[in-house]
């Protein structure tokens, strides 16, 4: 599907500006490259310049575009999120596509800003980044905000407001990952409601089960075996690119996608009261 999209949509994003978080590897790296291939000016926001600069060079070489730039961003550190947004806004460019892609799974501990690690990076960091860039996105409308959630959100039993302020409790970190991905889906839906009529649309998605670095915490022999059954990062970027670029979804907002199609997220992910509560608490946390 990705190959077909690449061949049929050359330079459709000329003049558009995109920011992709966590684009130094995995799904984000393919997303950034494909947006650049279609003519977008792409900012890749990553926590390690050492890991990201070779990807900037690779995308420049693959696309022939010099409009690929690096921003420093550690989503677990809200001061870093603010600095990243400031650095982008200082350029006085429009922003048409914000891709909230970065994520961690199976890691344990607390984020620098004191949240459960997965929740702090996957939800709170992206919540603040999006807030800080929202006026720019509105002024650049039509614009889209794509948030990479996961089917892991279906297993989340809800959000324990105390637990998300504590270090990871489970042995695997995976229950907490599911909660963070429920938060991604709720955030995208609530943002869609709040942005109605603004020309900025929101999309949440499951990318598929993808053989990326996200499985780095799984011990080696299991990791290699698991990856055999997974789709490639090229295929894993297809739904993100669909949500970010397809004319078919231009009039949709606040929905959840899987395999480039709308899908019902979990009952909890569709709960407007839970989404409003998460929004209210997230605003207070990042104040």
| Residue 177 annotated among the catalytic residues of the structure | yes
Q: Does 210 bind ligand NAP (CB under 6 A)?
A: yes
Nearer Cβ to ligand NAP (97/210): 210
Of the residues 154, 177, 203, 256, which is catalytic? Answer: 177
One of 18, 40, 98, 104 touching ligand NAP (CB under 6 A): 104
Size of the site for ligand NAP (CB under 6 A): 30
SS (H, E, C) 112-180: CCCCEHHHHHHHHHHHHHHHHHHHHHHHCCCEEEEEECCHHHHHCCCCCCCHHHCCCCCCCCHHHHHHH
Q: Does 74 bind ligand NAP (CB under 6 A)?
A: yes
**17: helix, strand or coil:** strand
Binding map of ligand NAP across residues 156-195, x = CB under 6 A, - = no contact = ----------------------------------------
Q: Distance between CA 249 and CA 247 in Å, rounded?
A: 5
One of 105, 241, 255, 275 touching ligand NAP (CB under 6 A): 105
Q: Does 207 bind ligand NAP (CB under 6 A)?
A: yes
Using the rule CB under 6 A, give the single segment among 62-70, 74-82, 217-225, 262-270 that binds ligand NAP. Answer: 74-82
Tokens linked to 222: 């299991």
Largest Cα–Cα separation, the chain: 50
Nearer Cβ to ligand NAP (8/50): 50
On whether the CB atoms of residues 2 and 237 are closer than 8 A, the answer is yes
Nearer Cβ to ligand NAP (39/207): 207
Q: Distance between CA 252 and CA 249 in Å, rounded?
A: 5
On whether the CB atoms of residues 65 and 58 are closer than 8 A, the answer is no
- In angstroms, what is the minimal distance from the CB of 58 to ligand NAP? 14
Nearer Cβ to ligand NAP (51/169): 51
On whether the CB atoms of residues 157 and 127 are closer than 8 A, the answer is no
Using the rule CB under 6 A, give the single segment among 6-14, 84-92, 154-162, 207-215 that binds ligand NAP. Answer: 207-215
Say which DSSP state 258 is in: E
| Contact set for ligand NAP, span 11-40 (CB under 6 A) | 21-22, 24-28
Angle between the 174-194 and 272-286 helix axes, to the nearest 10 degrees? 100
Please give the radius of gyration of the chain, using alpha carbons only, rounded to the nearest integer. Answer: 17
One of 113, 140, 212, 253 touching ligand NAP (CB under 6 A): 212
* Cα→Cα distances 188→80, 146, 148, 259, Å: 22, 8, 10, 18
**69: helix, strand or coil:** strand
Q: Does 117 bind ligand NAP (CB under 6 A)?
A: no
- In angstroms, what is the minimal distance from the CB of 258 to ligand NAP? 10
One of 130, 150, 168, 253 touching ligand NAP (CB under 6 A): 150
Show which residues are catalytic. 177
Interface residues with ligand NAP (CB under 6 A) are 21-22, 24-28, 46-48, 51, 73-76, 101-105, 121, 148, 150, 206-207, 209-210, 212-214
């Amino acid at each position: 599907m990705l190959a077909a999209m690449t061949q049929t949509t050359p330079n459709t994003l000329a003049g558009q500006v995109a920011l992709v978080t966590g684009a130094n590897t995995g799904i984000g790296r393919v997303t950034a490259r494909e947006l650049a291939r279609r003519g977008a000016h792409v900012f890749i926001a990553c926590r390690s310049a050492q890991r990201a600069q070779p990807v900037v060079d690779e995308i420049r070489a693959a696309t022939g575009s010099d409009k690929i730039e690096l921003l420093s961003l550690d989503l677990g550190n809200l001061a870093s999120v603010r600095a990243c947004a400031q650095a982008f806004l200082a350029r006085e460019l429009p922003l048409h596509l914000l891709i909230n892609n970065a994520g961690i799974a199976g890691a344990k501990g607390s984020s620098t800003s004191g949240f459960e690690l997965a929740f702090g990076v996957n939800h709170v960091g992206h919540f603040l980044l999006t807030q800080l860039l929202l006026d720019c996105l509105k002024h650049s409308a039509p614009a889209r905000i794509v948030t990479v959630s996961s089917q892991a959100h279906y297993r989340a039993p809800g959000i324990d407001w105390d637990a998300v302020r504590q270090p990871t409790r489970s042995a695997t970190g995976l229950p907490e990952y599911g909660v963070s991905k429920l938060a991604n889906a709720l955030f995208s839906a609530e943002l869609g409601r709040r942005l109605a009529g603004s020309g900025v649309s929101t999309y949440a998605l499951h990318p598929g089960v993808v053989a990326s670095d996200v499985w780095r915490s799984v011990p080696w022999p299991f990791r290699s075996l698991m990856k055999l059954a997974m789709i490639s990062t090229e295929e894993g970027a297809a739904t993100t690119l669909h949500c970010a670029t397809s004319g078919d979804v231009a009039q949709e907002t606040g929905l959840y996608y899987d395999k480039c199609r709308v899908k019902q997220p979990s009952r909890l992910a569709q709960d407007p009261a839970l989404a409003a509560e998460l929004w209210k608490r997230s605003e207070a946390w990042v104040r």
